[in-house]
Amino acid sequence: MTKIELTVNGTTHSREVEDRALLVDVLRDHLQLTGTHIGCDTSQCGCCTVHVDGRAVKSCTMLAVQAAGADIVTIEGLSNGDQLHPVQQAFTDCHALQCGFCTPGMIMAISAFLKDNPHPTDDEIYHGLEGNLCRCTGYINIVKAVKRSAKLMK
Amino acid sequence: MFQFNYVKAKSLSDAQALIAANPDAKLLSGGMTLIPTLKQRLAQPSHLVDIGGLSELRGIEVNDAQLVIGAATRHHDVATSPVVKKTLPALASLAYQIGDPQVRNRGTLGGSIANNDPAADYPAAVLALDATIVTNKREIGASDFFQGMFATALEEGEIVVRVRFNIPKRAAYEKFAHPASGYAMAGVFVADGSAGLRVAVTGAASGVFRWSEAEQALTKKLNFAALEGLPLDLTNMNEDIHATREYRANLARVMTKRALLNMLAQK
């Protein structure tokens, strides 16, 4: 067991965790932040994407102890109070989801992607979404939402 | 995962001491292969020694016509580095094609080459550019470093510190990625540099290799037609549910052509 401090959505938490605990399990089970989903658990689907020190990572493939001291943002911390983050707003506007299971990971991946690349081309969007799988909408509206997000963020 | 003790190394010498004191310890850098391996219980290290955050292992710089990249430098940092884009754009392009954005944000150059997955991208660049792998103990030439599937010249306790890439006149990398995993079904790095014309193929066979017939043919005549009908040994080609040996060999040939076209289009 190791005692770690994590700053999650602006609040610093101190927790004793098993060295082998995954970041996603600590977020969900220790901090009750269940908006971060576990999809494939094999670092393919991207449902568990969160920001660690500003970069999108798959929290099922990172140990919580590796994130000690890091600044973490999850889907719960993205909005500004009642004001949705532009990517959240764009997903609503474009109906970029069906069952919604992949949505938190999609939104976290896209919000990080647009920070690097605020005016992406279609090909750059496809490449930027490589790490996230959606099994129901077929991506068309998700890609629309990325473009709409980019507009909203101008 | 089995239980292990996680230790964050404070320095390279600290990591070296930790590895020496614990024979069943493993080094952890980005963890993009190691953590999935642990989750499948395919490894049972006593300790994980985390070297991913060591500043001694980070950084990108140009030194004496060589591009020097620290082992713990993330793929994203290589893909987006203005220095890499300027001096060795083919390497930035290769890094941009690894895995997906989340993987590129964690995975590292040193981790990739130390693991030497037969379908990893970096080994093709390291071999084609005749790079030097600098460890905590010695310097290893690329042709001695890679020793077949998941095997390298690294000894117990040896840590990759940085890689020195010779900057070529021009180079290109093209891969046919597996659509689900992103791993190279065949990836080819073509380089025209101080070591001559080199063609390194990853993904197609049990380990990265130089296609010597293509190198000889292109050395004589640097054009597309030189590649037609050249023999490509099928003995070591991978054969699995994704592709037969013959198909992989053909992919390697096509990727070589594409890389060549890409390279020749550069000034």
Q: Do A46 and B38 touch (CB under 8 A)?
A: no
Tell me the average pLDDT of chain B.
96
* pLDDT for A138 beyond 90: no
> Domain A2-77: what homologous superfamily?
Beta-grasp domain (3.10.20.30)
Assigned token pair, B236? 């070591």
- So where are chain A's domains? 2-77, 86-152
A18: which chain B residues are within 8 Å (Cβ-Cβ)? 3
Domain boundary among B53, B69, B93: B53
Q: Which residue has the tokens 């943002």?
A: A73
* pLDDT for B2 beyond 90: yes
Eight-class DSSP state of B173 = E
Q: What percent of chain B has pLDDT over 70?
A: 100
CATH of region A86-152: 1.10.150.120
What is the pLDDT averaged over residues A43-51? 97
Q: Is the CA virtual torsion B90, B94, B95, B97 positive or negative?
A: positive
| Interchain CB contact of B215 with A (< 8 Å) | no
Beta bridge partners of B196: B193
Measured CA to CA, the distance from residue A27 to residue A51 in angstroms comes to 12
Greatest Cα pair distance, chain B, in angstroms, is 57
A127: which chain B residues are within 8 Å (Cβ-Cβ)? 96
Closest by Cα among A98, A124, A19, A104 to A64: A19
Over residues B134-174, the pLDDT tens digits come to 999 999 999 999 999 999 999 999 999 999 999 999 999 99
The pLDDT score that the predictor gives to residue B235 is: 87
- The confidence band for B194, taking pLDDT boundaries of 50, 70 and 90, is confident
The helix-helix angle for A140-152 and A86-93 (nearest 10°) equals: 130
* pLDDT for A81 beyond 80: yes
* pLDDT for B267 beyond 80: no
Which positions 151-170 of B are in contact with A (Cβ < 8 Å)?
none
B35 within some domain: yes
ipTM summary value: 0.96
B71 within some domain: no
The pLDDT score that the predictor gives to residue A154 is: 87
E strand segments, chain B = 5-8, 26-28, 47-50, 60-63, 66-70, 132-135, 139-141, 160-166, 170-177, 184-193, 196-202, 209-210
How many CA atoms lie within 13 Å of A46's alpha carbon, on the beta-carbon side? 26
B143 within some domain: no
